[in-house]
């Protein structure tokens, strides 16, 4: 075994052995799993809200660009008269 001589690893393995876990340890593990699941749900909500907000901003920017292009195409071009003297 690769970590057989590692005292810290051996102690960790001994601690997580099901035979040595107490009821308090199981409660801690359950609470931790519940906590991490809640954090994950919170992160997903924040991600989704940010995504929706970003999509909304992107859509608004696209609309403004289309309006600008449309307005630009509708305006007749003004031809500048040359200020140079032509013979």
Please give the Cα distance from 45 to 51 (Å, whole number).
Answer: 10
Please give the Cα distance from 64 to 35 (Å, whole number).
Answer: 43
Please give the Cα distance from 79 to 87 (Å, whole number).
Answer: 20
pTM of the model: 0.45
pLDDT tens digits along 37-86: 999 999 999 999 988 888 888 888 877 777 776 666 665 566 666 566 65
């Amino acid at each position: 075994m690769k970590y057989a001589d590692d005292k810290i690893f051996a102690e960790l393995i001994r601690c997580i052995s099901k035979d040595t876990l107490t009821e308090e340890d199981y409660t801690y593990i359950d609470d931790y799993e519940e906590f991490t699941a809640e954090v994950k749900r919170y992160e997903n909500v924040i991600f989704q809200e940010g995504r929706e907000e970003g999509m909304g901003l992107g859509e608004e920017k696209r609309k403004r660009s289309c309006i600008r292009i449309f307005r630009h195409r509708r305006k007749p071009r003004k031809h500048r008269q040359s200020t140079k003297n032509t013979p």
